[in-house]
Amino acid sequence: MKSKATRPRTFGELKASGYQPRTIREEMRQNLITRLETGQPLFQGISGYETTVLPKIENAVLAGHDIIFLGERGQGKTRIIRSLIHLLDEYIPIISGSEVADSPFHPISHYGKEQLANQDDATPIDWVHRDDRYAEKLATPDTTTAELIGEIDPIKVAEGRYLSDELTVHYGLIPRSNRGIFAINELPDLAEKVQVSLFNILEERDIQIKGYKIRMPLDILVVATANPEDYTSRGRIITPLKDRYSSHIRTHYPLERSTEIAIVAQESRTFERKDRTVILPTFMEEIVAETTFQARHSPEVNQVSGVSVRMSISNMESLVSNAEKRAIRNRESEIVPRITDLVAIFATTDGKLELEYAGQDKSQDQVIEKLVDKAVLDVFNEYLDADDLDAVVASFNDGWWVEVSETMSAAEYIKNFANLKGMRQAIAKLNIGESQGEMAAAIEFILEGLHLNNKLNRELLDGKIIYNEAHKIQPLGRNTEMV
């Protein structure tokens, strides 16, 4: 594409340049074909859909279909739709001043036709960037036809125009998205009357405003999102509209824990932390992701509303923040989350879950605690076999006990616990670095894993955790000699 200074500025110059107009479907189709031929990825920053969702999108674009994405919250539906703009040409020409992006080759509005009729090849041309060819609307029950389609503008009437004059119309979002992409989120939330208006656009590709016979054959791709429960079971969408979306594409949550972790790493907020470095032990990343996976399969969590990847993202941010507080107070240079920091994710998990039977048998915190414990247990058992840690357990059976807390410095862990019989060998299996923070995180992980495997007892006392011999309550005190 030529630079702004050298692009044609009139219709005559545009024709002389050899520019060939394309419909939006032709445009997106050809740009997709180019990507397929060159091996370019369809989208950037979208993980986990390579073999499931993306091939269906490619088929829909090649077929020129309007698309509806069906999925629970937090499955990247809106991000995918917004990414579709990268299949548009970088710039397209429009008749200067047109509210509906009139093509100079085929204007659809009265204004565009009048400009072309009066000025012909001298008609001024503007160039619109692909980012400005996308519009989005969150559907709500109070969304009106006027917002989407248009309404008579009383100001224009007051200026002296007749009501029958098309120029009295204030166009809504959809006509203003002509030659672009219009997205509507949560489609079933639209009132039936508005759905009928949308149906007419999908069926006839034109608009009608207040009964006026305004024929505006829109060149537009209409995409939408919906929760499958609302779309298929509750009858909240009129059948003809449902039928007009040619491609129904179901999204999903990450199928692999590694995908969830990759999304968390990509989306989590990062801050300048001066001289402190964030180190994330792999097993802590996996525990955060696995907690979300556990929630997605728990009978105590309402699965209709879904459990978003945003839960994993918020939980990781909160986990790191809790570790950062400790590093600041203890004047440590490393920020390393560990098991005792998991208490911080209760607040961020709470708002992301909807219990199946709220308040009947278990509180929200009890459900979250169960999810976290199960996640820690599953991840621990993937790394270590509790039966192979008999040397560590034997020390506790001989009367040893340890006290840990979220405020304890990493140096204290190394001094007090790292030389516990069998501990070094267990840490070596976790494939971590040699930093004190990572060692402290590993020690906590091993102790908690042994507890969850019923090898050690755990007691809570004044915000601290006491690990001692399984099934016994030991007197509070610490052996002075390392085993």
Residues 6+ apart with CB under 8 A from 224: 67, 68, 69, 183, 184, 185, 187, 245
What's CA 345's distance to the chain center, in Å? 19
How much is the pLDDT for 100?
A: 92
What's CA 307's distance to the chain center, in Å? 11
C-alpha to C-alpha distance for 54 and 69, rounded to whole angstroms: 12
β-strands 220-226, 67-70 pairing: parallel
Structural tokens at position 13: 């110059």
C-alpha to C-alpha distance for 323 and 338, rounded to whole angstroms: 8
CATH label, 4-250, candidates 1.10.3720.10, 2.60.200.20, 3.40.50.300, 3.30.310.50? 3.40.50.300
List the chain residues with pLDDT less than 70: 1-5, 152-168, 204-214, 231-235, 357-360, 471-483
413-420 long-range contacts (CB < 8 A, ≥24 apart) are: 413/439, 413/440, 413/443, 413/444, 414/439, 414/440, 416/478, 417/443, 418/443, 419/482, 420/392, 420/395, 420/482, 420/483
Compute the residue count for the chain. 483
C-alpha to C-alpha distance for 212 and 164, rounded to whole angstroms: 7
Nearest to 137 by CA among 178, 69, 78: 78
Give the model confidence (pLDDT) of 81-124 as tens digits.
999 999 999 999 999 999 999 999 999 888 899 999 999 999 99
| Burial tier of 80 (Cβ tally within 10 Å: 0-12, 13-18, 19+) | buried
How many Cβ atoms are within 10 Å of 120's Cβ, its own excluded?
11
CB 187 within 8 A of CB 229: no
Torsion angle of the four alpha carbons 200, 204, 209, 211, in this order, in degrees rounded to the nearest 10:
-90
CB 241 within 8 A of CB 202: yes
* Domain boundaries along the sequence of the chain: 4-250, 257-469
CB 260 within 8 A of CB 353: no
What's CA 49's distance to the chain center, in Å? 13
How much is the pLDDT for 480?
A: 30
C-alpha to C-alpha distance for 401 and 417, rounded to whole angstroms: 10
C-alpha to C-alpha distance for 217 and 226, rounded to whole angstroms: 26
270-284: b (≥16 Cβ within 10 Å) or e: eeeeeebebbbbebb
Phi, psi of 371 (to 5 degrees): -65, -45
How much is the pLDDT for 161?
A: 62
Q: What is the pTM of this model?
A: 0.84
